Amino acid sequence: MTEPQNRLPILFIVITLVLDAIGIGLILPVMPDLIQDVEGVGLSDAAVWGGILATSFAIMQFLCGPLIGNLSDRFGRRPVLLVSLATMALDYVVMALAGSIWLLLAARIVGGVTASTQATASAFIADISRPEDKAARFGMVGASFGIGFVIGPLIGGFLGELGPRAPFWAAAALATANLAFGYFVLPETVTDRIRRPLDWRRANPLGAFRAMGRLPGVRPLLGLFFLYEFAMFIYPAIWAYFTQFRFGWSAGTIGISLALFGIGVAAVQGGLIRVYLRVLGERNTVWFGLAYNFCAFLAIGFVDNSTAVLLMTPLIALGAVVTPGLQALMSKAAGDNQQGELQGAVSSTRSVAMVLSPLVMTQIFAAFTREGAPAILPGAPFVLAAALMLLCAVVFAARRGGAQAA
């Protein structure tokens, strides 16, 4: 395809990836109200169900990401992407109409499958790009997800003021419009020359974990990476429930706060990280991030001033430098012929943290906010996250000592 012919398909891919990310952030501001409306329970029990829904979504993404990518190698990028969009639109309609928690759970499971198209979208970009253009275009893939994570909470919060189901109707309309757009502009790029049969062994998401045993120099850092991601996932896991319980925030305010956090993370990881690394170096950048996040978690856990917490939200992101710092250290510890294997292990480790964290964080929140709790402390999950930062510091220090001893 020539460059002018590429523009509309690339625009479609960007919109699709933005919608995938929006699907995650969209529901966060309205989920407490939606679950309470559907199930007729209090906020504490709604948080528990919210953790289950978030975990089911993450599990399906973890399981289906490699499968969807392999299906596109066999049947083509176009049918996989268009079918995923059509299913996504129907899924949002189901969530808008759901009258039971079990239907919401089924919809989140299906939503996790339909949002697993990043591999297919990236493969399409690779198919149509010249070698010298691929890096920049893969950068657009990451940027698309970042845009969606900022837009999603804003849409969810703004439309959530009209009712907890309104954002899902809007998302369904967006997915349908993009489906129609893709139907007319998206070509098929998988030809008989590159088409390959479906191999279930290559579609197995657990394969990356076997790689960990072959990367002994990286194992401690992967363990630290898991603990850190587990703690950081506290924001999408309980932020909406926590701020509604403690401050009485509406869906709109929750959406704005999450968007501010997303913008802060994008600014730090997209630009300021270079300053951190230049001034502090990779190792000290990790130390700074762990210390900063420890203080931020404790502050959020105990500060009871609504305005102060809202103003703190974008500043919290200044500690979001641990992940790039760790990835740089792990990349140096692995051999040149192990980089792909390493990234597979990193991706799987993050997925497991995303699966487990909502369950744990929402259970702790419920335990400390239910009537009859030994102490009413909605910030208890943030105290746990602060403790995990200390544990990360211990692991990081021990790993350094071991490396020096070796």
pLDDT at 251: 87
Both tokens assigned to 92? 């949002």
Q: What is the pLDDT of residues 90-141, one digit of tens each?
A: 999 999 998 899 999 999 899 888 877 776 777 777 777 776 666 556 656 6
Q: pLDDT category, 381, cuts 50, 70, 90?
A: very high
Mean pLDDT of all residues in 153-177:
87
Q: What is the pLDDT of residues 293-318, one digit of tens each?
A: 999 999 999 988 999 999 888 888 88
pLDDT at 388: 96
Both tokens assigned to 303? 């500060």
Give the separation between CA 204 and CA 224, rounded to whole angstroms. Answer: 24
How many residues in the chain? 406
Task: Provide the whole-model pTM.
Answer: 0.77
Q: How many CA atoms lie within 13 A of 128 on its CB side?
A: 24
346 SS3 class:
helix
pLDDT at 405: 37
Give the separation between CA 249 and CA 145, rounded to whole angstroms. Answer: 26
Q: What is the pLDDT of residues 187-217, one digit of tens each?
A: 887 766 656 665 555 556 666 556 555 666 6
pLDDT at 200: 57
pLDDT at 71: 76
Give the separation between CA 151 and CA 19, rounded to whole angstroms. Answer: 9
Mean pLDDT of all residues in 266-289:
82
pLDDT at 299: 93
Cβ atoms 287, 254 nearer than 8 A? no
Give the separation between CA 145 and CA 137, rounded to whole angstroms. Answer: 13
Cα–Cα separations (whole angstroms), residue 347 to 66, 107, 195, 384: 11, 24, 26, 24
pLDDT at 403: 46
Both tokens assigned to 53? 């829904």
| Cβ-Cβ contacts under 8 Å for 350 (sequence gap 6 or more) | 225, 229
Give the separation between CA 146 and CA 140, rounded to whole angstroms. Answer: 10
Q: What is the mean pLDDT of the chain?
A: 81
pLDDT at 402: 42
Cβ atoms 186, 193 nearer than 8 A? no
Q: pLDDT category, 288, cuts 50, 70, 90?
A: very high
